[in-house]
Amino acid sequence: MATSLLLNSGHHIPSVGLGVYKSTPGEETYGAVLSALRLGYRHVDTAQVYGNEADVGRAVRDSGLPRDQVYVTSKLWRDAYGYDRALAAVQDSVRRSGLPYLDLVLLHCPGEPGPREGAWRALEEAVRQGLVRSIGVSNFSQAHLEKLSRTATIQPAVNQIEVHPFLQRRELVAYCQAAGIVVEAYSPLSKGHKLSDPRVAGVAARLGVTPAQVMIRWGLQHGMVSLPKSVNPDRQAVNLDVFGFALDEGAMAQLDGCEEGLVTGWDPVAHDPV
């Protein structure tokens, strides 16, 4: 299995990334990102609202890795929507990171329709200015995506949504993949709620891997990018070690049968207006 996916923007995105949601700004985030990069991660996912963009950027710079070997994503919070505010917000994110550009910037949620359209135009302008290489969305439903596509001059490269075996969003994932939009799965471990589920644990025991590895691998085999989060280097290493085994048809069918609509976080996909 390839360790990266090709986006509709022409850039590749690593298939496993480190999420830094709820990683405390400062030394915790800095240490977690630096540890992950030393372990082999090449993709870090942050957001303005996390308050740790600067720590991510500092770790990337201090890693000694060439800039083009680390994929860095951030997201605009809805209070920065509207054209002028969104363009300024992208500029602020790049400045805070201390990096020459960001690989991917997303609208963090649909928010309100009017400001959303202006924010998307700002992201398109940020691409033209070289501040950002790819742009996308997070927590968008099919209806949100269809509306955006009618006015966009650059189509979203990704839609980052909560997905795991217990929340599969099959119709939305199928729509995105048919439209050439890569799905990024956040909370791929269901925030730990289902790691001890006997179906997951049974597959893990049979294959000699961990339940976390099983859940991450399930998403990869469905063509998604996976964004597990951990500040623990040992867990980081395990979460990245998912390319040396495969889930067979029986295991995939068993995990596909786990769907129960389990939303572990917020759900703008369902609740934000179109």
- Which residues are tagged catalytic? 50
* Cα distance between residue 150 and residue 146, in whole Å: 7
Residue 91 falls in which region: left (phi positive, over 0), alpha (psi -120 to 50) or beta: alpha
Q: What is the DSSP string of 219-231?
A: HHHTT-EEE---S
* Cα distance between residue 37 and residue 163, in whole Å: 24
Cβ contacts of 1 within 8 Å, gap of 6 or more: 15, 220, 221, 243, 246
Q: Which residue bears the tokens 């075996």?
A: 165
Query: Which one-letter DSSP state was computed for residue 209?
Result: S
139 contacts 160 by C-beta, under 8 angstroms? yes
Q: Which residues pair with 106 in a beta bridge?
A: 75, 136
Alpha helices in 49-134 (DSSP H): 53-62, 83-97, 113-128
* Cα distance between residue 160 and residue 106, in whole Å: 8
Helix (H, G, I), strand (E, B) or coil at 33: helix
11 is annotated as contributing to ligand binding: no
Structure tokens of 227?
A: 């964004």
Detail the residues annotated as belonging to a binding site for substrate: 108
Detail the residues annotated as belonging to a binding site: 108
